Amino acid sequence: MKQYLTFIKKSITDPTFIYKQRNKLDQAGKYFLFVMLVGSVLGSSVVIGIGYKPFVNAYEKIKQETKDISLQITDNGFEVQGIEMPYTFAASSEVNNQRAGGAIYVDVRPDAEIDIEELKKTYNNDMIIISQKNIDIYQKSGGLVQSISAEDFGEELKGKNLVKILVDRFESFLSPKGLFTIGLLLTLVLFIFGTIFQLLYIAIISLIMLLVSKKMKLSWSYKQLYTAGMYAFTLSYIVNHVLPFNIPLVMSGIFIYIMYLVIKHKVNPNKGGREGTLG
């Protein structure tokens, strides 16, 4: 690891170092994956750190709101206790006199008449509607996306409080094991998609620099440029993670500038240059 940390420092400060690595694709690949792994771990840690308190607050609110509510499966379908029906849990914000957030609408009475279109107009967003026989999930734009009947839950859940089960499951994510699992999954997602994106990004910048090197009559192959790019991307990658905002042109400008310093390292002998100089 100490070696890779040294590589990070040199990739940021020393174009000569990057130039010397131009024919070591295997080593460059390992270094690139190391940087992406570290970046993914730090990125997931920041996301969890920022989101933990709102997550806890949401849990406490849900727990308080549902402590006296019971949703059970019986032979007749869903049965609810602890609330007066029809019951609605919705976001408190309003836009143009309409609820801006999603809503949960509950009415499991046998004679209940639920007007879906009227509810959609009232809440103007995604909805979960719980009736005696079904739990229907509606999207604002797509209409009904899923309908779950009481029978779909299976015999093992009959007589159990589904609300408590969901709240307990929510709480499990707040445990050290839950946070570790979330962090691991988030790191994996960031690593996979981040690696794919950066490899494509390096490929595009390397192609641009190949055209530049041809114009400058410098002897660089695309493979050498791609290898150098796995080091040269480091500074733009770090800056992109440190800044609270992303400016793509600035990030690309940093990357291209470092690559430019690297390709100038070896000037074509026909132009009177010599190896070991930077420009």
Q: Can you give the pLDDT of all 279 residues of the chain as single tens digits?
A: 788 899 999 999 899 999 999 999 999 999 999 999 999 999 888 888 887 787 777 778 777 777 778 888 888 888 888 878 888 876 554 444 444 457 888 888 888 888 877 877 777 778 888 888 888 888 877 678 888 887 787 777 777 888 788 787 777 777 777 788 888 999 999 999 999 999 999 999 999 999 999 998 888 999 999 999 999 999 999 888 777 666 777 888 999 999 999 988 753 433 433 343 333
Boundary-marking domain end, from 112, 145, 170:
170
Number of other residues whose CB lies within 10 A of the CB of residue 263: 24
Return the amino acid letter for 105.
Answer: Y
Boundary-marking domain end, from 119, 136, 170:
170
Nearest residue to 279 (alpha-carbon basis) of 2, 19, 9: 19
Q: Considering the domain boundaries, does residue 230 fall inside one?
A: yes
Enclosing domain of residue 46: 2-50+178-271
Q: Considering the domain boundaries, does residue 59 fall inside one?
A: no
Beta partners for residue 143, in sequence order: 139
Boundary-marking domain end, from 126, 145, 170:
170
Both 255 and 162 in a single domain?
no
Q: Considering the domain boundaries, does residue 40 fall inside one?
A: yes
Domain count for the chain, please give it. 2
Q: Is the peptide bond before 86 cis (omega within 30 degrees of 0)?
A: yes
Residue partners of 204: CB distance under 8 A and separation at least 6 = none
Both 112 and 204 in a single domain?
no
Both 192 and 108 in a single domain?
no
- At residue 207, the 3 state secondary structure works out as helix
Q: Considering the domain boundaries, does residue 60 fall inside one?
A: no
9 φ/ψ angles, rounded to the nearest 5 degrees:
-60, -45
Residue given tokens 């074509």 in the structure block: 268
Return the amino acid letter for 207.
Answer: L
Q: Considering the domain boundaries, does residue 277 fall inside one?
A: no
Q: Considering the domain boundaries, does residue 73 fall inside one?
A: yes
- CA atoms within 13 A of residue 1's CA, in its CB half-sphere: 2
